[in-house]
Amino acid sequence: MKILLTSTSFQDTPGQHQELLKKQGFTVDILRGPVYEDELLLIIQNYDAVICGDDEYTEEVLKRGKEGNLKYISKYGVGLDKIDLIAAKELGIPVTNCPGVNQVSVAEHVMALILCFQKNIHLQHQTTQNASWKRLIGNEIFGKTIGIIGLGAIGKELAKRANAFGLHVLAFDINKDEVFLNDHKEITFVNDIKEIFYGADIISLHVPHTKQTEHLISKDVIFNELKKAPIIVNTARGKLVDVDGIIEGLKDYKIKGYLTDVLETEPITPNEKLIGVENVIITPHVGSRTYQSVERQGLMAVNNLINMING
């Protein structure tokens, strides 16, 4: 079988996932993703399967693949918003992903971003690199309230870590996990997302990008619903926020900071609006990019593909 591998995390990280893929005897071609529609349309028909990252598997790409050899899509990672799942189902192309393997890494990344911002670590590093000893005054997070929007695998791990740091934890999700909440009574579940907008000092986003969640943090929310000028953390998807609203909110002190691991357009481009904006920290979609998480996801992605092939 001929396989297209585009996940850069998979490619860049040595481990058992690479060894498992080699053992299968596949012919593997490598591209560094994300790979966009125009490029995929030229090549996708040549492959029996793909192990992909956030590539654009539109209806047109899937149809072109089906006209050729494409039989299976194994998504490395969790988010499936870049794959037209309806078209894939209609065309009979099974799609798998890797849930439940990156939550520890991403939850740790959220805490790292919050601590970095509140303690001015990113700014103080820059000053000492310039041989300066200018000392800024930071803030403790103890006793503050974090609102977690999306209490899935990552949200749950974040809630446990936030509680350990002495944060009060509010959580919202369209599905209420009674078992988890009974085991973690220190977490306050709210049935209305506006309670998070009203009461949180920090808001962390952990929902998929859908038509319903696009611009979940809109300009209207920023200027009319946020009461504490919170820090907003986004390690989910760039389109969950209105970037123009974020920038205006920062300038008007409606938001204290925007800490993000994701952008609307990735990789980052020279005209990214958030570059150079004060009180913004951007990391290049590395929340789950740890040796441990990559190996877990890579193994699952390869095993998912093997299982699809074997029926």
Q: Which residues are catalytic?
A: 237, 266, 285
Distance CA 36, CA 40 (A): 6
Asked if residue 258 lies in contact with residue 232, where contact means CB atoms within 8 angstroms, the answer is: yes
Between the CA of residue 164 and those of 7, 77, 142, 199, what are the distances in Å? Answer: 33, 27, 10, 20
φ, ψ dihedrals at 282, nearest 5°:
-120, 130
Question: Which residues pair with residue 52 across a beta bridge?
Answer: 75
Cis link prior to 99 (omega < 30° from 0)?
A: no
Start-to-end CA distance of the chain, whole Å, equals: 15
Residue linked to tokens 């691991």:
261
Residue linked to tokens 């037209």:
84
Which residues 6+ apart lie within 8 Å of 9 measured at CB? 53, 76, 288, 289, 294, 297, 298
Structure token pair of residue 66: 């089906």
Distance CA 148, CA 262 (A): 17
Between the CA of residue 307 and those of 8, 96, 151, 262, 311, what are the distances in Å? Answer: 23, 10, 29, 31, 6
